Amino acid sequence: MKVVIVGGVAGGATAAARIRRLDEQAQIVVFERSGYVSYANCGLPYYVGGVITDPAELTLQTPESFYTRFRVVMKVHHEVTAIHPDTKTVSVRNLETGETFEESYDKLILSPGAKPAQPRIPGVGIDKVFTLRTVEDTFRIKEYINAHHPRSAVLAGGGFIGLELAENLRELGMEVTIVQRPKQLMNPLDADMAAFLHNEVRKHGVRLSLGHTVEGFAKRDDGVDILLKGETPLHADLVVLAIGVTPDTALAKEAGLELGIKDSIVVNERMETSVPDIYAAGDAVQVRHYVTGEKALISLAGPANKQGRIIADNICGGDSRYPGSQGSSVIKVFDLTAAVTGINETNAVKAGLDVDTVILSPMSHAGYYPGGRLMTMKVVFEKGTGRLLGAQIVGYEGVDKRIDVLATALHAGLKADQLRELDLAYAPPYSSAKDPVNIAGFMIDNILRGVLKQWHLEEADGLPRDGSVTLLDTRTAEEYEEGHIDGFRNIPVDELRERLSEIERGKRVYVICQSGLRSYIASRILEGNGYEAYNFSGGFRFYDAVTHDRCLIESASACGMDRV
């Protein structure tokens, strides 16, 4: 059996190694148009910033090491230019010599990945405007920085690459601005959770220009003008386009393979394309979203590696199937860690789901053990059924651990309230006896049972201030004086039972505290005394962070808070 693989990075390299482990006799040839195989895309920004100093560390394997261990022929600087399903051959060009030739196959695997989105706007091709996707891209940026010592950079795009590159360029001492059309960084997060990232990057000197459209680039004063729609141009010494990627599927399209959203390759659960004996994996393929069941494009290394392994199993006589992608990911943003799994609230609503959320601010480990720090968790679930839909966490240590627990629960089909039942490891340096994931489960269980009623940030401005409802802040007097929402009166939770006569009966009571715990206790006190109480999801800490961020983005003067 002869297997030809187009693309030698995540999906292609994984498939090649797995086929060899399953079939010692198979002939395996990989064509990779760049000069590198099996390299770590996610490590590229850290080489630019000098965190990774040895370029050899970016490549997990070389063509030579791959052949030595697996007897796989890795042909770099070779571009497949056409696929001929009728003759089961591909046309190949040697990019070093210009030679062209035909290569036959019994099975063909397409793992071409994705390419940086290149908007059709003026100035994209000028020499100070870069993209970052391959090792060669990384070297070009690094060489430019070493040769010209730029003092400023504009990053068009605030996703994974944009944020990681912003951090690394700041570490090199550059002034950095991120500009993009959405009014938030990291679209996998809801806008309220992204507020914590915005605060972190601003704290480290990164300027944010959110909600602005880049219309082009122009050389000026040995730098680049970044032309914005309806705004004054920005100016920088270099620009990096990081506005996302698109499936690199021209080959598949020309060969007549069925294509899906954004011209991605349509595959079934076995990763088979519409043409017999042709498989596809990685960023170029359309997948099923594990939570919604909808068609999706999810460009992450984990799914690409799994898909490559599944293809290898099936080529070698097995029957492996890909269940779909749930988009689990994590990113370091200066001192913060942000992580997601499943779908966020925004996309759940767009999908037509009837959803609710819980927002909590637990410590990374036991509060009495030194060094614990707050994280912010948002768990999305379906009303009525309690189906777990997704989660987002922003914090410091312990974020990756909790998102992986939640990702596992989501994959296993646990209901959101079943998170309370998980038997998770505890020792004071690592967690609390009630882990943050358990606490989220307790909260959701209370909501589903009717023990807890919530109100959310989006309702804050619309709450009546005419006395028809009671607005109650249960923090200490000192906390209240430092900042509170307009119209909320202060009765500390520990004084509430003695001061119930101050709260008029027959009116709904909307309660808030710093994190949501004291206001929950206050809600139970009120409910136990005949009131109808609603607890604010997230607490004043969450409200303050999100509304302050929105004011900065919108340049609004009124933030809806009193401050000393």
- Say if residues 126 and 294 touch (Cβ distance below 8 Å): no
Query: Residue 60 is encoded by which pair of tokens?
Result: 């997990």
Cα separation, 517 vs 70, in Å, equals 56
Name the 3-class secondary structure at 314: helix
How many CB atoms are located within 10 Å of the residue 254 CB?
Answer: 11
According to the 3-state scheme, what is the secondary structure of 188-235?
A: CCCHHHHHHHHHHHHHCCCEEEECCCEEEEEEECCEEEEEECCCCCEE
DSSP 8-state code for residue 120: S
Residue 334, CA atoms < 13 Å, CB-side half-sphere: 16
What is the rounded CA–CA span in Å between residue 145 and residue 151?
Answer: 9
Number of H helices, E strands in the chain: 14, 33
Task: Tell which residue, 417, 426, 294, 411, has the closest CA to residue 352.
Answer: 294
pTM confidence score: 0.94
Q: Please, are residues 414 and 444 in contact by the beta-carbon 8 Å criterion?
A: no
CA distance 410 to 328: 10
Euclidean distance between CA atoms 208 and 214, whole angstroms: 14
CA distance 347 to 522: 33
Query: Rounded distance, CA 521 to CA 493, Å?
Result: 8
Predicted pLDDT of residue 559: 44
Residue type, 25: Q
Residue 539: its pLDDT value, please? 97
How far apart (Å, rounded) are the C-alpha atoms in residues 126 and 260?
A: 32
**Rounded distance, CA 185 to CA 197, Å?**
8
* Contact predicate 253/235, CB 8 Å: no
Q: How many whole angstroms separate alpha carbon 453 and alpha carbon 16? A: 54
Give pLDDT, residue 94.
Answer: 97
Residues 6+ apart with CB under 8 A from 243: 116, 117, 119, 156, 157, 180, 214
> Which secondary-structure segment (H or E) carries 471?
strand 470-473
Please give the C-alpha separations between residue 228 and each of 152, 208, 212, in angstroms, as whole numbers.
17, 14, 7
Q: How far apart are CA 61 and CA 142, in angstroms?
A: 22
- Please give the Cα distance from 82 to 102 (Å, whole number): 9
DSSP designation for 542: H
CB 355 within 8 A of CB 420: no
pLDDT number for residue 546: 97
Spatial neighbors of 377 by CB under 8 A, at least 6 apart, are 358, 359, 360, 361, 362, 391, 392, 393, 402, 436, 440
CB atoms within 10 A of CB 12: 28
Amino acid at 52: I
- Alpha carbon distance 177, 122 (integer Å): 20
Running DSSP on this structure, what letter comes out for residue 232? P
If you count them, how many residues does the chain have?
564
Predicted local confidence at residue 59, as pLDDT: 74
- Report helix, strand or coil for 59: strand
Query: What's CA 89's distance to the chain center, in Å?
Result: 38
Question: Which positions are annotated as active-site residues?
Answer: 42
Q: What is the pLDDT along the chain (564 residues), one digit of tens a residue?
A: 999 999 998 899 999 999 999 999 999 999 999 988 877 777 888 888 989 888 778 777 889 999 999 999 999 999 999 999 999 999 999 999 999 999 999 999 999 998 888 788 888 888 899 988 888 888 899 999 999 999 999 999 999 999 999 999 999 999 999 999 999 999 999 999 999 999 999 999 999 999 999 999 999 888 999 999 999 999 999 999 988 889 999 999 999 999 999 999 999 999 999 999 999 999 999 999 999 999 999 988 899 999 999 999 999 999 999 999 999 999 999 999 999 999 999 999 999 999 999 999 999 999 899 999 999 999 999 999 999 999 999 999 999 999 999 999 999 999 999 999 999 999 999 999 999 999 999 999 999 999 999 999 999 999 999 999 999 999 999 999 999 999 999 999 999 999 999 999 999 999 999 999 999 999 999 999 999 999 999 999 999 999 999 999 987 334 444 433
State the sign of the Cα–Cα–Cα–Cα dihedral 470, 476, 481, 483: negative
